[in-house]
Structure 1
């Protein structure tokens, strides 16, 4: 269940809210005048969230490439890689 608190609570109990975000690794939703206004989370949780978005984007691009036929065999890939980087040949 999400934690919801007011902007006054954030102002008055910042350290407690910060501890919650770090301990539970989830956001706290902040309301202003009774309406949703912000989501506050630890830097670690934010970095994990953005890394997940980047991964999902890369997976989506890969699936789109497969669907569009933009693929090559492992042998073709290795030959192209060795042509671009001869120092890798034979490893």
Structure 2
């Protein structure tokens, strides 16, 4: 269940930060609407790495669609396996 708090709870920010866990951010609302999320730095780094990987995979897939796919044997040969 998401941990949602009003932004005014940041007056006691140490209490809010204690509630932040891996895969369990604290969401802050302003005027009843979602505005911010507090996540651990490790989780943020993982999310950024995931986005970067997804972008590279999309680039590779677009290239394969445009220029054609290669066989597994050709890929192994190119890698010297």
TM-score (norm. length: structure 2):
0.73
- In 2, Cα distance between the equivalents of 1:32 and 1:6? 6
Q: Which residue of 2 aligns with 1:88?
A: none
Structure 2 residue 17 is matched with structure 1 residue 18: yes
Equivalent residues, number: 76
Q: Which residue of 2 aligns with 1:4?
A: 4
Map residues 24-39 of structure 1 onto 2, 5 A cutoff: 24-39=22-37
Structure 1 residue ranges (4+ consecutive) displaced by more than 6 angstroms after TM superposition: none
Q: Which residue of 2 aligns with 1:62?
A: 60
Map residues 39-50 of structure 1 onto 2, 5 A cutoff: 39-50=37-48
CA contact (8 A) 1:2 1:29 kept: yes
RMSD over equivalenced CA pairs, Å: 2.2
TM-score (norm. length: structure 1):
0.66
CA contact (8 A) 2:28 2:36 kept: yes
Instruction: Describe the SS at the equivalent of 2:34.
Output: strand
**Structure 2: any 5+ residue segments left out of the alignment?**
none
List per-residue Cα deviations over 1:10-50 (Å, max 9, x = no partner): 222x22322222x3333211011222221111111111111
